[in-house]
Structure 1
């Protein structure tokens, strides 16, 4: 169920970014944390083959051992915006 809601949110985000004017993002996104792609500044390599407005996930473990998933959106100037951040539980009741 949570996966469906997550996909719906990502789809809504991508759809919204397609309908905004070029370069017209209303926020600066979330602040990067250690492990984020944009922690310490934007990456030196530009994402030239991906279209502006597209999104992609990045999963990493933070300094406290939690699994973090961030969703990035590519801006028209090819920089990255952290649009969403989700902390996954350390343990789950579904584990066998």
Structure 2
């Protein structure tokens, strides 16, 4: 980050613009815990964005899953989510 700021704010040639445009940490699937000492995964990078490896897809919200475009949407009773699963011990469930 310091190299990026030095490049854009101080005009220094840090070489940061020669690196991939996008970097992301891809976490591996692990069992749910309140916290982790180590979270396995790997770094991935793309030279530009949007990546030529990306293709647009449309998905519909189904009763218990996402449905690909063209799939028949089944109707049924409403499903309510009452628990705030975005915070605390239940985050990620």
Does the pair score TM above 0.5?
A: no
TM-score by length of 2: 0.20
Larger strand proportion of the pair? 1
Pick the structure with greater CA Rg. Answer: 2
TM-score by length of 1: 0.19
Point out which structure has higher relative CO (alpha carbons under 8 A, 6+ apart): 1
